[in-house]
Amino acid sequence: MASKGGIESLGPEGASAAAHALSLPAEAYGNDERVEALWAMKAFNHAEVYFNLISSVEPKFLKLTKMDDHIYDRFREEFRDLDVKVLKEDDLKSADAKERWRPFCNQFEGSVEDFNYGTLLRLDCEKEYSEENTIFVTRIQFFAVEVTRNREGLNDAVFSARSRKS
């Protein structure tokens, strides 16, 4: 997953302007394609960093937030039977799923920074990010799923695959 002109291609001034633009409230923009492109680049860069992290460090040792324990406990209380190894879009986006996810996500408002920012999530944890294997979710959904995958050993396949190639 090599970056070919991500946010670093903007240079220092462009990156500063992009950071400022992304910090403004959404109402300031309407449907500005440039802002959507910046958000997409930011989400892609986050995904790239995360995948490189689980590829190079044993996932069970990773701490994604200071609240990992609480996120994991609450997630498994609410989504006890959800198979996070291979998610389906309906697990996250169907009307029923949204009704279950909304209160889960909202409980982290104010305690998990940027809890509702858009983030890319792999559907199948044994595969890399790709168009077919990626879905756009809130950051707290990403943390809930990925902390669970790390704790339950499901991301070990990515780490092992990369370790064998080295």
User: Percentage of the chain with pLDDT > 70?
Assistant: 80
pLDDT tens-digit map of 18-44: 555 556 555 555 567 777 777 778 888
Q: pTM value?
A: 0.78
Strand partners for 136: 120
